[in-house]
Amino acid sequence: MYIYRFIVCFLFAFSISIFSQDTEKVEITIEEERENKIKALLEIVKINKDIYVSEDKARLEKFINLVDEREKLLSSAKNQLKNEQIRNERLEDSFKNNE
């Protein structure tokens, strides 16, 4: 993901440099240059936000799935323990009756 952001930043900076190397000499004021840089940074922030949101969503979904899986395993283990306890009591009663 970091490579993706680096590529996006590089392409954006490269496109700005190509634009500024146009054959026509257009004077860009300091305010316009500052505004362009701010817009570029804002765009980078938006792209990074989307990347982080999607990564967080995937991480959260994976965590929730693991929790659900572990809850099912715990429930299964509790049922198995209950069944074994019932079986144990039944076998003890049977053993006492056979004595």
Contacts of 28 (CB under 8 A, 6+ apart): 20, 36
pLDDT value for 27: 78
Q: Give the tens place of pLDDT for each residue, 42-59.
A: 999 999 999 999 999 999
pLDDT value for 42: 94
Question: Which carries the bigger pLDDT value, residue 23 or residue 3?
Answer: 3
Distance from C-alpha of 62 to C-alpha of 12, rounded to nearest angstrom:
33
Is the whole model's pTM more than 0.75, yes or no? no
Residue 52: strand, helix, or coil:
helix
Distance from C-alpha of 55 to C-alpha of 80, rounded to nearest angstrom:
38
